[in-house]
Amino acid sequence: MTKITRTSALTARHLDLGGNLQEYIRMGVPLTYNTDPKKEHDAIREAAGMYDFTAFLKFRVSGPEAADALNHAVTFDVTAIKPGHSKYGPFLRETGVICDDGIVFNLGDNQWLACHGDGCARNMVELSAEGRDCLVEYDYWTHLISLQGPKALDLLNKHASDDISALDYFTHLNETELFGCKVMISRTGFSGERGYEIMVGPDKAVIIWDSILKHGKDMGILPCAVESVFPLRMEAGLLWRRFDLMENTPWEVNMGWVVDSNKADFRGKEALMAAKGKERFKLVGLEVDIQEALQGGEKVFADGKEVGKVNDKPVWTHRMKKSLALGQVKPELKAVGTKLEIQREEGMCTATVVKFPVYDVKTR
């Protein structure tokens, strides 16, 4: 079992909320609070919800050739990211498969920040930095508080020193003040709603957390634990490294949109280009004809033949009253509307390939 070796400055707040702390990326994170995860889900869709995502790893790259090092480690063109902007995408192995994903932020003046999961992103950038005039440093200090939902902007704008409404998707303010604390605010998130991620030092994280809850109480804003993330991200068709991406090519998981095949050489490019059109499977969205969530890992069949599997962390979404999952199927079965069968312990059930996201973001 992986030991907890990292601590969030917000741990006491999580325990006060009845947090069931579980290890994630060597940090104790609240899987649930005393509140019903469905109410947290509702808050994010109707008002706003706040997460402590400090567990996600961060590192900084600085120096004259920092952009070159990052550019070699990702599939997209880092040199095209303007200061104050960011971009999401995968980090590859030499074999052309994904080992991590994350967001790269251009802080200006040859300063960059990368936020990622529990994969090899930093190691890949460190390798790419060898022989280049730049420095890669692990950021163990920065805390990440995520406020997601339609009322997030209203709350933040009332208490920020800058106009948060001016931020477009994947842009950020390097330094602004929120509730009197110096923070970085980015218009990013993992919910399918308009949301913001606040990066702040551990000495001010509690102030930001408490202030959002104090001023957001009458707006219906709630603190949220990890369990409520799963249906949110499934409704929005957002991929999770551990469950959907690892050791797969971008072509297989529908991430060709973030591969810049015209840019200079990057790690795994030759293998990745050779793999195009030779996908072992395609990632698809599934709507399952049951009134609960699948377990994950079930075998998928078509015409009596095994053709794939269900990815981990499928969900039942109470708001849409649907059993949803992501799965891997043979490429010829990827078309929306394809009928499949899934083998459960209780017996076979049917499923249909559907277009993700299933949550209509136009209604936000």
Q: Which of 174-183, 262-271, 355-364 bottoms out in mean pLDDT, i.e. has the lowest?
A: 355-364
Q: How far apart are CA 13 and CA 223, in angstroms?
A: 10
Mean pLDDT along residues 225-243? 97
336-341 contact pairs (CB < 8 A, 24+): 338/284, 338/302, 339/302, 340/286, 340/300, 340/301, 340/302, 340/307, 340/308, 341/300, 341/301, 341/302
Tokens 């590192």, residue located = 59
Q: Is 95 exposed, middle or buried (0-12, 13-18, 19+ CB in 10 A)?
A: middle
Q: How far apart are CA 288 and CA 76, in angstroms?
A: 34
- For the chain, what percent of residues have pLDDT higher than 90? 97
Mean pLDDT along residues 295-316? 98
pLDDT at residue 364 in the model:
46
Chain segment 116-166, per-residue pLDDT in tens: 988 899 999 999 999 999 999 999 999 999 999 999 999 999 999 999 999
Mean pLDDT along residues 98-110? 98
Reported as a pLDDT band with limits 50, 70 and 90, residue 70 is: very high
Q: How far apart are CA 347 and CA 355, in angstroms?
A: 26
C-beta separation of 115 from 202 below 8 A: no
pLDDT at residue 362 in the model:
53
Q: Which of 135-144, 258-267, 297-306, 355-364 bottoms out in mean pLDDT, i.e. has the lowest?
A: 355-364
Terminal-residue alpha carbon distance, the chain: 41
Domains of the chain: 11-54+142-233 (3.30.1360.120), 234-363 (3.30.1360.120)
Q: How far apart are CA 21 and CA 32, in angstroms?
A: 8
Mean pLDDT along residues 167-174? 97
Q: How far apart are CA 271 and CA 273, in angstroms?
A: 6
User: Does residue 294 surpass a pLDDT of 50?
Assistant: yes
pLDDT at residue 241 in the model:
94
Chain segment 237-275, per-residue pLDDT in tens: 999 999 999 999 999 999 999 999 999 899 999 999 999
User: Does residue 28 surpass a pLDDT of 90?
Assistant: yes
Question: Do the bridges between strand 322-329 and strand 315-317 make them parallel or antiparallel, or are there none, so unpaired?
Answer: antiparallel
Q: Is 270 among the annotated ligand-binding positions?
A: no
pLDDT at residue 157 in the model:
97
| Length of the chain measured in residues | 364
Average predicted confidence (pLDDT) for the chain: 97
Q: Which residues contact 42 (CB under 8 A, 6 or more apart)?
A: 319
Reported as a pLDDT band with limits 50, 70 and 90, residue 168 is: very high
C-beta separation of 332 from 351 below 8 A: no
Instruction: State both tokens at 223.
Output: 């603190």
Chain segment 322-347, per-residue pLDDT in tens: 999 999 999 999 999 999 999 999 99
Q: Which residues contact 363 (CB under 8 A, 6 or more apart)?
A: none
User: Does residue 361 surpass a pLDDT of 70?
Assistant: no
User: Does residue 298 surpass a pLDDT of 70?
Assistant: yes
User: Does residue 363 surpass a pLDDT of 50?
Assistant: no
List Cα–Cα distances, 19 to 38, 221, 228, 252, in angstroms: 16, 17, 13, 37
CA neighbours closer than 13 Å in the CB half-sphere of residue 324: 25
C-beta separation of 146 from 197 below 8 A: yes
